Amino acid sequence: MISKPEDYYRSDAFQRIKSFADKQETPCVIVDTQTFSRQLDELMENFPFAKVYYAIKANPAVELLTILRDRGCNFDVASRYELDKVLALGVTGDRISYGNTIKKAADIRYFYENGVRLFATDSEADLRVLAKAAPGSKVFIRILTEGSQTADWPLSRKFGCQTDMAMDLCLLARDLGLVPYGVSFHVGSQQRDIGAWDSAIAKVKVIFERMLEEDGIQLKMINLGGGFPANYISRTNELHTYAEEITRYLHEDFGDDLPEIILEPGRSLVANAGILVSEVVLVSRKDRNSLHRWVFTDVGKFGGLIETMDESIKYPLYVEKLGELEEVVLAGPTCDSADILYEDYKYALPLNLAAGDRIYWFSTGAYTTTYSAIEFNGFPPLKSFCI
């Protein structure tokens, strides 16, 4: 794992990407498949007991899905469109979970018809639809977790239910002829506090124990979600530290014989493999005595960098020019004043930076192409390449 921005541009991956990017127009994201495969190796080595269900929304590039397919991975799918994409690659329904708790009956039926038998849920209404549209399927109940304060991109509030309701849903699932199979959570994306998994796993243990003791239901699976880190400016622990700690929490609560363990990585697999290349469009000052410049680039919030919202994700940046540095406000190219990327956090860029210079945004392989608008101000969606 590369931990310092300086290390990126000394890396072979950067050189590979840069020589490819030199022939491309900006903006574009280039994902290095060697780095992606290495990230996948690292995850699988660190969690040898877990099954990987890739969260497709992080980056649905066919080249990446193909690598995952060939490595025997599974897929966490959130819509029928993502489903079509993996089915087209020959992935069968038994390697897919429908991980979205918000779904239409017709879509559930479509998944079921295509052989999917594993579904997430967090509500009675959804469970009743599942019982009709996907009879006899395995369901896992998503629970609410804490950790939104320490995740750079929290996901926790919208999905999941309280522990008591999770237990009610297990019972109802059984009564409706479904298989109450396990419990899932997501502690928030780019979760910097490993302890967030500890409290979530402790909640799962309570559910497992009570379901068995009080209702004779033996749950079989824990889905630990995503949340594993990529290398941005705010530091995190290394993946192996996450793995060691999480493995310890699991054994503390579940003993030697762990239930089936599922991981749903997105960001941690693909972010570090990608570099977004943009070009400076304009450098200006708003006032004669201003102590900082505004640097406008040809990528912004609507071109794929929406995770700069509230300056949540701070990507390491690199420009080739050397020289005296000065702080800047960084903004995108569109006619929307929300299209300012970083204003509180000031990146220092060289004083001689000028229109036409390129900016390399590291760790942008995840949540960029999928978030890019399709035609705002006429700008086309963010181009993406896998090399």
Ligand X SMILES: *Cc1c(COP(=O)(O)O)cnc(C)c1O
Q: Please tell me whether residue 161 binds ligand X under the rule CB under 6 A.
A: no
Cα R_g (the chain), whole angstroms:
22
Q: Please tell me whether residue 147 binds ligand X under the rule CB under 6 A.
A: no
Residue 341, amino acid:
L
Interaction mask 240-279, ligand X, x per CB under 6 A:
------------------------xxxxx-----------
Compute the least distance from the CB of residue 257 to ligand X, in Å: 25
Give the nearer residue to ligand X in terms of CB position, either 26 or 364.
364
Q: Which stretch binds ligand X (CB under 6 A): 39-47, 226-234, 275-283, 328-336?
A: 226-234
Burial class (CB in 10 A: 0-12, 13-18, 19+), 385: middle
SS3 114: coil
Compute the least distance from the CB of residue 264 to ligand X, in Å: 4
Give the nearer residue to ligand X in terms of CB position, either 239 or 330.
239
Query: Cα 40 from chain centroid?
Result: 14
Q: Which residue is nearest to ligand X (CB)?
A: 226
Instruction: List Cα–Cα distances, 140 to 27, 127, 365, in angstroms.
Output: 40, 10, 29
Q: For residue 219, what is the DSSP state?
A: -
SS3 387: coil
In this chain, which of 14, 47, 76, 300 binds ligand X, going by CB under 6 A?
76
Q: Please tell me whether residue 121 binds ligand X under the rule CB under 6 A.
A: no
Write phi, then psi, for 181 (nearest 5 degrees).
Answer: -105, -35
Retrieve residue 332's tokens.
């995108």
Residue of 143, 148, 116 lying closest to 130 (CA atoms)? 116
Give the nearer residue to ligand X in terms of CB position, either 21 or 78.
78
Give the nearer residue to ligand X in terms of CB position, either 1 or 281.
1
Q: Please tell me whether residue 58 binds ligand X under the rule CB under 6 A.
A: yes
Binding footprint of ligand X, residue count (CB under 6 A)? 17
Rounded distance, CA 98 to CA 263, Å? 14
| Tokens 């029928």 -> residue | 80
Give the nearer residue to ligand X in terms of CB position, either 272 or 334.
272
Q: Please tell me whether residue 103 binds ligand X under the rule CB under 6 A.
A: no
Element (H, E) at 241: helix 239-254
Query: Which residues of the shown chain bind ligand X in the complex (CB under 6 A)?
Result: 55, 57-58, 76, 99, 155, 186, 189, 225-228, 264-268
